[in-house]
Structure 1
Amino acid sequence: MQAYEFINNLIPPLKLKDKVKMALGWMEEIRTGQLPVVDGGRFLGFVTEDLIFSLNNPDLAVSKIELDSPSCFVYLDKHIYDVIKVASENHSNMVAVVDRENNYLGVVTMEDAIGAFANSLSIQSQGAVVVLSMFMTDYSLFEIARIIESENTKILSSFISNDPLDDSKIKLTLKLDRTEMRHIKATLERFGYKILDHYQEEEGVSGEQERIGNLLRFLEL
């Protein structure tokens, strides 16, 4: 799950001498709104479609443009989580990947990163999602797993985030290998766990729609 594994080789880098009209042509061809800029093997930032249109000069060289997000990069051995984090911080749909000598290797798109993230969290596996609220001091995945496994259910993956309703608490989101939640909910509540929400799979939803829906619910986006 390291960044270099998800480099998209279909995204070409621009050079400083390239004209912005060429950049627009490439963006249209590969259906993206931005492209990386590289000089001497070094990542300099991104040219965006919006920026080009605001300049309204198709013959302008890329070197004459103030590039976006020069810090939107990760090292090749960083986890895919770091790619998504850097993209979010820079409000970018791409993240550049460089080696430890800062040589440009390519970019990871958010589509590819989210797909990898979803796979790592077992989003596509059959099962329900339950969201618990608790103090961090009360958090013990071992204990919670023991309780859930007492109902012949296993935790496929887990995700911790801040509870927006209480800064002193966390939200623990669990993907389980069962779709029926009634007994699991009752058991967790009997042990004093507060259930914020739960999601069960529904029939009649297309595979792609289900994948996206499950990911958004899991991340509470």
Structure 2
Amino acid sequence: MQANEFINNLIPPLKLSDKTKMALAWMEEIRTDVLPVVDKGKFLGLLKDEMIFEQNNPEANVGSLDPEAANCWVFSDKHIYDVLKVSAEFQSNIVAVLDRENSYLGVVTMEDAISAFADSLSIQSQGSVLILSMNMTDYSLAEICRIIETENTKVLSSFISNDPLDDSKIKLTLKLDKPELRHIKATMERFGYRILDHYQEETGVSSEEDRIGNLLRFLDI
């Protein structure tokens, strides 16, 4: 799950000597509004189409514009989760990937990163999602898994975030391998756990749109 495994080779880097009209043509061809700018193997930042439109000179070189987000990159051996964090920080749909000598290797798109992240969290596996609220001091994944396993159900993955209803608590999202939650909910409540929400996964999910939708539901975004 390292960043270099998900480099999208269909997205070309721009050179400083490239014409901005060519940059727009590439953007239109690959259906993006941003491309990386690279000089002598070094990542300089991202060039957006709106910057080219504002300049309004199709014959100008890319080097006449100042690329943005020069720090929108990760090292090639970083986890795909780091790609998502950098993407969110810079609000960018692509993140550059560099080797440990700071040489440019390529970019990872958010579509590819989200797809990979969804796979790592077992989002595509049939089952259900259960969301609990608790104090951090009460959190024990081993104990929670033990309780759930008494109902012949396995925890496939878990995710912790802040409880939006109470800043002093955490929200624990669990992906389970069984679609039926009635008995599990009753058991968790009997042990004093507060259930915020739950989702039952649809069968036959395969499209990229459904994959991303499942991930966003899992993360409760």
TM-score, normalization by structure 1: 0.96
Aligned length: 220
Q: Secondary structure at the match of 1:207?
A: coil
Runs of 4+ in 1 over 3 A off after TM superposition: none
Question: What does the per-residue CA deviation read over 1:112-146, in whole Å, with 9 as the maximum and x for residues that have no partner?
Answer: 00000000000010000000011111110000000
* 1:163 equivalent in structure 2: 163
Code of the aligned partner of 1:139:
Y
Report the AA paired with residue 86 of structure 1.
V
Pair 1:133 & 2:133 matched: yes
Question: Within 2, Cα distance between the matches of 1:108 and 1:12?
Answer: 12
Partner of 1:91: 91
Cα distance in 2 for residues equivalent to 1:74 and 1:215:
22
Deviates more, 1:46-55 or 1:36-45: 46-55
Conserved? CA contact 2:84–2:113, under 8 Å: yes
Tell me what 2:5 maps to.
Answer: 5
Which residue pairs with 2:143 in the alignment?
143
Task: Name the counterpart of 1:189.
Answer: 189
CA distance in 1, matches of 2:52, 2:8: 23
Unaligned runs of 5+ in 1: none
What's the CA shift for 1:177? 0.2
**2:221 corresponds to 1:207:** no
1:26, CA displacement in angstroms?
0.6
Counterpart in the other structure of 1:35: 35
Deviations 1:79-132 (A, max 9, x none): 000000000000100000001110000000000000000000000100000000
Q: Distance in 1 between matches of 2:146 and 2:216?
A: 27
| Residue identity matched to 1:146 | R
Deviation at residue 181 of structure 1 after TM alignment: 0.3
Cα drift, residue 15 of structure 1: 0.5
CA distance in 2, matches of 1:117, 1:206: 16
Counterpart of 2:127, as a letter, is G
Provide the rounded CA distance (Å) in 1 between the counterparts of 2:79 and 2:211: 22
Residue number in structure 2 paired with 1:52: 52
Q: Which runs of 5+ in 2 are unaligned?
A: none
Q: Deviations over 1:169-208 (max 9, x none)?
A: 11100000000000000000000000000001246x8632
1:216 aligns with 2:216: yes
How many angstroms does 1:57 deviate by?
1.4
Whole-Å separation in 1 of the counterparts to 2:39 and 2:202: 50
Percent of counterpart pairs with the same letter?
71
Q: In structure 2, what is the Cα distance between the partners aligned to 1:164 and 1:79?
A: 27
Distance of 1:188 and 1:104 partners within structure 2? 49
Instruction: Give the match for residue 112 of structure 1.
Output: 112
Q: Aligned with 1:186: secondary structure?
A: helix
Residue type matched to 1:207 in 2? S
Q: Which residue of 1 aligns with 2:82?
A: 82
Task: Give the letter for the 1:85 counterpart.
Answer: K
